[in-house]
């Protein structure tokens, strides 16, 4: 989970609960909701012993610590080190140490579960508990006629249900009930209680098509054995037998925290304008973190419900999964950041799914992008010699990746996302080497 200057840690539920690669953290001041560090100082703390490299722009050195998980340095014969700068050098030329922007947090302390805090006229901040490293998710309620339109639903747990009931009780903040439910994307902490809420109030679920369908697909994996293609995917990344066995036991748990969805939904599409109560909200779809993540922007109220697309202290997990091993989600995520920056003015109050509402959207996006370019530049330097996905953790993550569980899974998915980004741009080649693993090196 790549860590940068921040200190918040969270869990990528979608990955963890479905046995997908998950490290469990939404990524601290880096990029993932789980792992990649954006702005550490000296790197290389997880490097294989003896590895030295020089980046095309910046030089990074540091003490090395061996990984506790399958971290062999044996591979194809050493290749000629990189001697030319990469094609993306202009983007990669971020300073060695980025200055973390000063964000404004004007809304005070978060409400307790079962309570609400008004952040704008007719817009309430709700917070639901999660039994994880990241112990909360922010939800939002928007006045909609005689009731409320909610944005996101929380994880399906008894504690979340109890908090919702308190909000709907006589004298509760949402006493009028729900008129409809918007869901930003299909990760369990966002969609978990959607079926329960829409059933309770006989209201419609609004979300993008890909998110709805992907949730249905993943829920269908519940109870299934891990497929052979998934096992092969992680073996090619460098996993050993112990890690593979842990993955087998974890696979198929997505449905545990997601209530059965309604059989129909109302589709949200990029560019839609939706009237909620007295105001229009624009739909801005982002990709990379999830297939079709919906943000909601209200120009009149100067509000952006950003979901997991832009967070103030942690950042979205961007990973490659066995279902689409050659995907390039990093390019999607970076393009989505640019899209949000271009579409939304800097003076909005951002309502994120985690941490607190903040101002400073453009500075935060610029920081996330620049720090990601640094991470890619470090990776370019490390690939002067052939490496597997599990061998580059030290270039991307600020903490040792040890053990065989969710941390290893999340780190692997993030690493492959970075490697696929360079592969898609012709900067690296991928070869089958020792143990039928994929080995990557600069071209």
Tell whether the model's pLDDT for residue 336 goes beyond 60. Answer: yes
- Which pair of structure tokens corresponds to residue 220? 């269908």
Which parts of 95-253 are beta strand (E)?
116-120, 123-129, 136-144, 147-151, 178-182, 204-208
Higher pLDDT pick, 403 / 304: 304
Interacting residues of 390 by C-beta distance below 8 A, sequence separation 6+: 67, 69, 70, 71, 237, 238, 239, 401, 408, 411, 412, 415
What pLDDT is recorded for position 400? Answer: 86
Q: Quick one: pLDDT band at residue 27, thresholds 50, 70, 90? A: very low
Q: Quick one: pLDDT band at residue 403, thresholds 50, 70, 90? A: confident
Tell whether the model's pLDDT for residue 140 goes beyond 90. Answer: yes
What pLDDT is recorded for position 136? Answer: 97
- Among 33-42, 110-119, 242-251, the range scoring the smallest mean pLDDT is 33-42
Per-position DSSP letters for 355-397, written without gaps between them? S--BB-HHHHHHHHHHHHHHHHHHHHHHTTS-B-GGG-HHHH-
Domains of the chain are 43-100+368-442 (no CATH), 116-224+253-365 (3.60.15.10)
Higher pLDDT pick, 86 / 240: 240
Q: Quick one: pLDDT band at residue 97, thresholds 50, 70, 90? A: low
Tell whether the model's pLDDT for residue 53 goes beyond 80. Answer: no
Tell whether the model's pLDDT for residue 77 goes beyond 80. Answer: no
- Which pair of structure tokens corresponds to residue 305? 């419900």
Tell whether the model's pLDDT for residue 167 goes beyond 90. Answer: yes
What is the spatial distance between Cα 346 and Cα 366, in angstroms, rounded to a whole number?
12
Contact of 160 with 191, CB cutoff 8 Å: no
Higher pLDDT pick, 437 / 53: 437
Q: What is the mean pLDDT of the chain?
A: 82
What pLDDT is recorded for position 404? Answer: 66
Give the strand order in the sheet containing 349-352: 273-276, 279-286, 293-298, 303-307, 349-352
pLDDT tens string 217-268: 999 998 899 999 999 999 999 999 999 999 999 898 888 899 999 999 999 9
Share of the chain above pLDDT 70, in %: 78
What pLDDT is recorded for position 21? Answer: 38
Tell whether the model's pLDDT for residue 95 goes beyond 90. Answer: no
Higher pLDDT pick, 39 / 107: 107
What's the mean pLDDT in 77-98?
Answer: 33
Tell whether the model's pLDDT for residue 139 goes beyond 80. Answer: yes
Tell whether the model's pLDDT for residue 86 goes beyond 80. Answer: no
Q: Quick one: pLDDT band at residue 11, thresholds 50, 70, 90? A: very low
pLDDT tens string 341-374: 999 999 999 999 999 999 999 999 999 999 999 9
Interacting residues of 59 by C-beta distance below 8 A, sequence separation 6+: none
- Among 23-32, 222-231, 278-287, 404-413, the range scoring the smallest mean pLDDT is 23-32
What's the mean pLDDT in 288-312?
Answer: 98
pLDDT tens string 184-197: 999 999 999 999 99
- Full-model pTM: 0.81
What pLDDT is recorded for position 435? Answer: 82
């Amino acid at each position: 989970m790549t860590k940068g200057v921040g200190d918040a840690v969270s869990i990528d539920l979608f990955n963890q609960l479905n046995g997908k690669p998950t490290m469990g953290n939404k990524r601290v001041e880096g990029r993932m909701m789980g792992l990649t560090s954006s702005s550490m100082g000296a790197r290389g703390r997880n490097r294989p012993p003896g590895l030295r490299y020089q980046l095309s722009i910046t030089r990074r050195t540091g003490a090395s610590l061996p990984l506790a998980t399958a971290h062999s340095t044996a591979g194809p014969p050493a290749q000629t080190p990189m001697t030319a700068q990469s094609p993306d050098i202009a983007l990669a030329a971020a300073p060695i140490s980025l200055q973390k922007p000063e964000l404004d947090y004007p809304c005070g302390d978060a409400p307790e579960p079962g309570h609400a805090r008004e952040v704008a006229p007719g817009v309430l901040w709700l917070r639901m508990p999660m039994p994880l490293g990241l112990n909360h998710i922010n939800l939002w309620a928007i006045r909609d006629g005689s009731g409320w339109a909610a944005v996101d639903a929380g994880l399906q747990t008894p504690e979340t249900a109890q908090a919702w009931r308190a909000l709907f009780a006589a004298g509760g903040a949402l006493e009028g009930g729900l008129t409809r439910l918007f869901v930003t994307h299909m990760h369990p902490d966002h969609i978990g209680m959607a079926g329960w809420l829409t059933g309770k109030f006989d209201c419609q679920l609004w979300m993008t098509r890909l998110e709805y369908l992907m949730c249905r697909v993943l829920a269908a994996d519940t109870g299934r054995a891990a497929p052979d293609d998934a096992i092969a995917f992680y073996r090619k990344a460098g996993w050993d037998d112990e890690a593979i066995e842990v993955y087998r036991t974890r696979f198929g748990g997505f449905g545990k925290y997601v209530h059965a969805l309604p059989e129909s939904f109302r589709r949200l599409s990029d560019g839609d304008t939706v009237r909620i109560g007295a105001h229009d909200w624009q739909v801005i779809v982002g990709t990379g973190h999830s297939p079709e993540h919906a943000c909601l922007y209200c120009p009149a109220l100067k509000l952006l419900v950003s979901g997991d697309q832009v967070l103030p202290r942690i950042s979205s997990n961007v990973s490659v999964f066995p279902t689409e091993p050659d995907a390039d989600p990093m390019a999607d995520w970076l393009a989505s950041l640019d899209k949000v920056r271009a579409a939304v003015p800097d003076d909005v109050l951002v309502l994120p799914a985690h941490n607190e509402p903040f101002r400073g959207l453009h500075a935060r996006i610029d920081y996330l992008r620049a720090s990601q370019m640094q991470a890619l530049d470090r990776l370019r330097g490390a690939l002067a010699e052939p490496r597997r996905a599990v061998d580059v953790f030290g270039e991307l993550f600020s903490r040792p990746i040890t053990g065989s569980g969710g941390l290893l899974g999340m780190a692997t998915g993030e690493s492959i996302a970075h490697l696929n980004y360079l592969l898609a741009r012709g900067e690296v080649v991928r070869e089958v080497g020792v143990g039928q693993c994929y080995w990557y090196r600069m071209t």
